[in-house]
Amino acid sequence: MHCVQKITDNIYWVGGNDRRLERFENMFPIPDGVCYNSYLILDEKTCLMDTVDTAISRLFIENITHVLNGRDLDYLVINHMEPDHCANIEELVRRYPNIKIVGNKKTFQFIGQFYDFDYCNNSHEVKDCEMLNLGRHNLKFMAMPMIHWPEVMFTYEETEKILFSADAFGTFGAMAGNIFADETDFEHHYLGESRRYYSNIVGKYGNQVQGALKKLSSYDIRMICPLHGPIWRENAEYFIGKYDKWSRYEPEKNGVVLVYASMYGNTENIINVIANKLAQKGVKDMRMYDISKTHPSYIIADIWKYSHVVFGSVTYNNGLYYGMESLLNEIKALNLQNRKVGLVGNGTWSPQAIKVMKEILCTMKNMEVVGTPFEMTSSMKDNEEEIVDRFVEDFYSSIS
């Protein structure tokens, strides 16, 4: 049974949802599932924008067959060659042998790497800013390398001012019938997952995103159709603004994320003490995470959102607790910048946590360690409260 919706008079959403998948890219938890978007344009020529993951291939083919209603499929535009969007290329060529696959040079390199079928007679290679006319609709292809793969391109439909944006402007989370952002409570239901999607999937490539936004700034964009998540047909500037801030590595608001690695509760205790003292000084927006219990993608998303972070960790095997070391290296790999950081370390016989945390942070851009890091041995003592108070005061003073 098909499941399609019109997004304009002649353009249809033919994607679907997967609520069974536990982890996106077998890495990131997706408790609310994920959607795979694809769009079919009916004109003098028919054109499909991307395909979907194998998990929903049957529904996808039914959707396309229903909308085409006996017509041939003339073009398949590949904006992104990641398998959750390109898994049905070979099947579509088999069903529609006259189809032309539209992509750039890198696209066809990747098709050859993923698949072992002869597509030479079906290929239609395009370059940056090249056009394709379907009749009433004109497609303009824009190279957007490293958002977040090297072959990525956006497609701009000139007649209806629609941007097909590949993985940009996407989000985790399946859709419950409402495919437009304005039909949803976006800020409460999707924004957090959009931030988690951006920071963990695209976050490393802030410079490239800034370049893309600059390139798009001269276009009249009335609708954004991403490959994951709701379609933006109203107030697209809101979400573009989020991408602008996220890709500049600027915090959205003042607030504190406290992350700790604690084996027996002593490091957890000092982080609670610090949070309590900050709260009494008037800090109102704080998030606290146990690195051993929370998937790092959630922690990273909140660090992307807030201006300040406190890392507290025990020493482990004469180094840093593995979970904390992994988190810091992941943040480093994602190119996070421009945060103020407080450090708390603990060790019984050879404290090393602060030393290792500093070493990692020093390799990152504009990560300012605020105040004197607080290092304790085994557990906090009453006579150390004055030291903690100075740490808290220095940290609090940096929150403008």
DSSP, residue by residue, 64-123: HHHHHTT----EEE-S--SHHHHTTHHHHHHH-TT-EEEE-HHHHHHHHHH--S--GGGE
User: 315-356, pLDDT tens digit by residue?
Assistant: 999 999 999 999 999 999 999 999 999 999 999 999 999 999
pLDDT exceeds 80 at position 66: yes
Structural domains in the chain, CATH included, are: 5-247 (3.60.15.10), 253-397 (3.40.50.360)
C-alpha to C-alpha distance for 240 and 169, rounded to whole angstroms: 8
pLDDT at 222: 97
**β partners of residue 258:** 288, 310
pLDDT exceeds 90 at position 400: no
The answer to whether the predicted template modeling score (pTM) of the entire model surpasses 0.85 is yes
Q: Pairing state of beta strands 253-261 and 286-290?
A: parallel
C-alpha to C-alpha distance for 338 and 307, rounded to whole angstroms: 8
User: 292-323, pLDDT tens digit by residue?
Assistant: 999 999 999 999 999 999 999 999 999 999 99
Q: Which helix (H) or strand (E) holds 208?
A: helix 206-216
Average pLDDT (106-115) is: 97
pLDDT at 158: 98
Phi, psi (degrees; rounded to nearest 5) at 282: 110, 5
What residue type is 199 in one-letter code? S
Q: Lowest-pLDDT range, 249-253, 275-279, 382-386?
A: 382-386
User: 155-177, pLDDT tens digit by residue?
Assistant: 999 999 999 999 999 999 999 99
pLDDT at 380: 82
Q: Are 99 and 92 in contact (CB under 8 A)?
A: yes
**In whole angstroms, how far apart are CA 96 and each of 22, 64, 68, 93?**
33, 11, 12, 5
pLDDT at 2: 83
